[in-house]
Structure formats: structure tokens, C-alpha cells
Structure 1
Amino acid sequence: MKKYNVAILGATGAVGQEFLNLIEERNFPFANLKMLASKRSAGKKIQFMGKEYTVEEATVDSFKDVDIALFAGGSASKEFAPAAVKAGAVVIDNSSTFRMDPEVPLVVPEVNPEAIAQHKGIIANPNCSTIIMVMALKPLYDIAKIKRVVVSTYQAVSGGGKEAMAELEQQVADIVAGKPVTANILPGAALKKHYQIAFNLLPQIDVFKENLYTKEEMKMIDETKKIMSDNDMRITATTIRVPVYRSHAESVNVEFADEVSVEAARKALEAFPGVEVVDNPDEQLYPQPLETSGKNDVAVGRLRKDYSIDHGLNMWVCGDQIRKGAALNALQIAEYMIEKDML
């Protein structure tokens, strides 16, 4: 099998580390691997598959002879993606920089792989919550057109980065010890106010927009329409940060144009690659963040008819936002391109 030169931008972060885990797990065919990060992380050593790698500072000249550039996300994408493409690499970007660019395909390989062929050097990875939701929506959409989606998310603190996870851990320890609790990270380090997340819920992820939705909520709305190629689909979202370390959960209500039975929905979901149906009320079996953390599949359960509307269905969806919601999805795009000889 042909092997490819791969660069990981953001190699020291959570998504970058997950890229490495998955490259090894999936036996990804790489020839050379370049670890890139910010100036403050340059020089760090990473042990990977029996070899020591030195993290390099990312510059516009870092992508010579690179075939695939996996970008873990963040503001660096805007600066370095054009340089990588100019050097001949295909960029698979996990940031929000290019997602709504009409020239850039926004891809979940199980849902819209045909969009990959339209790329001009950059392919965007959707928002983690969007990926998890559309994995459950697509097999249902193939049965009957979806008119409307109402989604409420329950998003793990790891979506806010390592600092948010550390703050949750510290807050829990302080509460147990009877110490005062401090909050410096959530709902966002760059925001004016911060709140305790331990034993709490925060109904804000990212900044508020003029329409009073948060940026995270609008990402889910706009990205879903683009991925599903359906601008007529009506979507409303409420995104919540919860005191869970890893794996997002979503309550999804779907209104179809025609009747879809629970049995038909279950059958379609069970047959869809990357989806696991965990749905047995008699045995109290349903998806949970603890059960989906570290796993590749998106789990769907609590399937039931919505009796308040015609042609309605409720479901509960859980998925590891660092795996399928980020690193795995990006790597699957690269694997698809290799399989189809698109590199």
C-alpha cells in the first residue's frame, strides 16, 4: 500500500493526541510524520510507535513534501491552511474557519462523502455536536424528508479544552474538601464572566449572537443544512455545558414530512455505519457519556414517537466528541481519499 507524508498541526493538544491514537489503532498508511504546534510547544518530545518525535513550531514553510495535513483546530488554521495547500498538501481542518465557505466541502464521510471530490485543497471537519447529530439524522432522512429538528445538547467540558477539564476536577475536589470554589474558564476563557461547572449546568457555549443564539447553536443549525444539502430544513438548537469529562449527549426531536415508525427508524439506524443502537427500556439500556467515551460509534437510544406533532420522533444520541466529533472524522476523510485514489 502506498504511504503518505502526514503533518499534524496542534499535535500536543487533545485532538492532536487523538489523531496519533487513531493513526496507530487504524494502521493508517503514513511514511513520515511531522508534529507541529505553537511556538510555546516547540521542542517537546512525543513518543509514538517506538519513535521519538520533536514538536516543531508551525510556520508557513512547514508543509513541504506533506501529502495530508491534519489540523486539530483553532485560529492557526486561517494562517497555515493556505500555505499548506500551496505546498501541495490536502488540509483536513477541524476549526470553524472554513466550514461555511461555499468553496470548501464540509464532510462527514458516512453522510456526504461525495462532497470530498469538490475540494480545492481544504476539507472542513464539522463542529463536534453537528457530527454527532447528523450521524443519527442521515439514516432517518433517507427514509423520509426531515422538516424540522429541535436539539438540546449536553456537552462535556473537554469541549472547552484541557483547562476546562482541569477546572472541573479542581472544583469537585474543593467542594468535597469544603473549600471555596473558583471559576476562570467556563463558559469560555475569553468571556467576561465565569461560572462554576461542578454540580451545575451552563446554558452558554461560545459567544451570543445578535439573534440571541450562541455561536455554537448557530454552528449546529448552519452546518447541518450544508452537510445535508437541505436549506429548507428548520432547525433550532440549545447547547448546554454539563459537568461530564468526555462525550457529548443530545436530545433530538425530529419532524418528518411523512410517517416514520419507531421500528423503521430503529432498523435504519442499526444498518447505518458508525451508529450503534442502544435502546432497551425493559433492561434500562440507553446511551450514556461514560459508555461512549473512547468509542468510535455514535450511540442512539430512547427512540419513541412524539405524540405532540404529526410524524414526530424523539431520540437520545451520545458520541465521543474528541473521536467521532473531531479526530476520527478527519482521519476517515483521509482514509476515504486514499481508498478512492484521490490523493
Structure 2
Amino acid sequence: MRASSSTSSFTASQPDEPPHDKTDPLHSEGDAPSHAPSSSNIPPATLVLVATPIGNLGDFSPRGAEALATAELVLCEDTRTTARLLTDRGINARTEALHEHNERQRVPALVARLQAGARIALVSDAGMPLLSDPGYRLVRAAIEAGITVTAVPGPNAALTALVLSGLPPYPFLFVGFPPPRSAARREAFARLHAAERAGLGATLIWHEAPHRLAETLHDMAAVFGPDRPAAVARELTKRFEEIRRGTVSELADFYTQTAPRGEITLLLGPAPEESASADDLDTTLTTLLATHSVKDAAALAAAAAGLPKRVVYARALELASQKKD
């Protein structure tokens, strides 16, 4: 994961590793430890998705390093970022760029290469490939071509932020990056809020660029309400890791006054369980009318509230008329 305007950075410090605990249920006395096949045993004609550190190089797994070292080609979101990781582990691997601007064009040749027997690894700048990063088109094409696709799991910013947030860990919904412009962002938030009114109850997770965080939080407060519990996770696994928790409005005010830096994950707690009221309907309609036609806003609000479309449409017309006056 990385914000569109920033480049991930790594720190080389490694946490102390605790001694082996014989009481560990995964290594009970008398049983041989269970090991997954090593990456060197991954057969040819395989696409391997390899998770990379989200900040701390010490989080890169031995299997991940082995997978990159034994691949004929390592596909990278940014070869310069991956080069630092390879250098740290003494890996001499051929790298090529695969990003949002060239993935569609590169897929056919890469699939042909896999079909010819190549073992190819895919990494993003940080975290698990495909999650807000390139690679989905290649994976789909490889699956459709009957090519083996496997993964070396590891660090993930969304899940790390979730377990540190203090918000309910499940169910959760990872949404990726919000739209960069306020109008489109509010529309996206309104659709999620409508889904909540229709029964969705989950912690919502986004990544966000630091220069947009404050305005995104203000838009979130306008759509979801100012008092929803939320959290902002910043610079996870790095020296200046920070988890700030509070209501949406509290976080919006804080980051309006304090410009954030680094990689950011934004979380919103589940909607409270409460029945919809007339005020709730008006709030939903007012939010939707800012970005939708009266007809579309009424349809979305009716579905969310479980009310007759004609009733909601009539109220939407009233609110639209009042806005014009």
C-alpha cells in the first residue's frame, strides 16, 4: 500500500525475537514442527504473490526472501523501492515494473512467459500485492490460463491498523482509497451509509494520502455523523508509529490543526444499531441530493430506509425545492 503522492520507506531495525517456547501449541512436545513447503520448492510456471514490509525491513519473512531470490523475474510496483529490499537481503534478482499504467499491456506477454515455464514473483511497494496496488489483472489472467498462483503472506497495513484501532475487528470492510475530490468522496460515503441503513454493520477501512486526510475526515463527519468512533493509523511499524483514536469530528479537528505525514490508514467504527427516523431520512436525502438527482437520491434513500419509493421521492422533492429557495 502507498498513497499516490508518497513513496514507502523502510527502517532496518529488527525487533528482538523471543526464545522458543516449548508450550507453544504450534510446537507441542513430541511433535515435529509443521513447515510449509519452502519457496524453492515452488514449481515452475507459477505466479507467486509476495508480501513485503509496510515500513520495517525486519518484518520481511525468510520465505518471502527465498521466493524473490529463486524467481526468474520479480515484478515491482516501483523497482527503486524494491531494490532497497533486495539489497538489504543480499538478493540479486531481475526486476521489472508492473504498475497501473502498464499492467494491461504487459499481461499477455507475462502470461505467455508463465505458460512457457517461468516462475515469476509479484510484489508491491509495501504490504500484500493487489490490495490498493496493481496485479489484479495479471492474477485473473493467470488463473484463467490455468497457471498456478500462490502467495507468501506477510505484513498488511489495513489489518495491522484494524487490530490496533480499538474498533470491532470483525466484520470489517476494506474500501481502498476514497475518491480524491470532495463531491465524489461524499457520494462514495453516502453509498456506504445507505448500505449501513440497509443492514451493513462493519468497521470500515480506507487508505488515505496525508494531504487529503483532514478534508476526508470532515466529509466523513458530514455523511456518517460527527460522533462515530474512528481511528487514524500513521507510519505503522516505523519509528514514529501513531494510532490516534476518537470521534470523527475530534480527529477532523486535530488533523486540520496538525498536518499529518507518512502512510495513513483510516478506520470508522460500525454504525450504531438504531431505527431510522424522519430526521435520519432527511439527513440521508440531503447528503445524497448534493451529488445525485432527486430520482436517484430517493431510490437510494428508500432502499436504505426500507420505505416506499413514492413517499421518499415526495420528501426528496420537498427538500430539493427548499434548497432552491
Q: Normalising to structure 1: TM-score of the pair?
A: 0.30
Instruction: Answer 1 or 2: which has greater helix percent.
Output: 2
Larger Rg: 2
